[in-house]
Amino acid sequence: MSDDTGSSEVKVGSDLHKMIQQLEKIEFKTDRDLYNYAKLLRAIGFELYTRVAFDADMITAILSQYKGKWYTFGLQSKIRAKLVGAHLKAGASAAKVLGLAGVKMYASFVKHFIRPEQEAEAEARKGKGSKKPGFSIGDKPSDTAGKPGEAGRAA
């Protein structure tokens, strides 16, 4: 596969590249933009975590089979391979935290901005509704409901 730069390298992570481009294009104008940002950040974090964790396991497996000098025994190679792979595992965990940070950011936005606004609207509606007579569900029936003289009777 070749691109316009003339390299014959296979593109690895084209989906990841597209997700990063989508993330860069987001402009924060509405709450939906924050939601999309969090969703993309979570997907990028999960993709990075999956790839890096897989690569860490692969490198650990390859290096554990290393047969070097006469003083490098099999068990010693396996221990050293795990130490090398652990660094990539730590990077994979960081990518996982990155994805989780996007989710936590949106949850915090909902908690601190959306929910108080919804509660304020509900309070405003509750205050307005008590002044106007009308149809409501869940309220106790008033004495004036139904035909005159039938208030309070069971059906």
Q: Looking at residue 118, what is its pLDDT?
A: 87
| Model pLDDT, residue 9 | 46
Alpha-carbon distance values, 108 to 6, 114, 120 (Å): 46, 9, 18
Rounded CA gap, 39 and 55, in Å?
24
User: How far apart are the C-alpha atoms of 150 and 95, rounded to whole Å?
Assistant: 69
Please say whether the beta carbons of 88 and 59 come within 8 A.
Answer: yes
Show pLDDT as tens, one digit a residue, over the chain (155 residues). 444 444 444 444 569 999 999 999 999 999 999 999 999 999 999 999 999 999 999 999 999 888 776 666 667 888 999 999 999 999 999 999 999 999 999 999 999 999 988 888 888 888 765 555 554 444 555 555 555 555 555 54
Per-residue confidence (pLDDT) for residue 155, from 0 to 100: 46
Which residues contact residue 142 at a Cβ distance below 8 angstroms, ignoring those fewer than 6 apart? 151
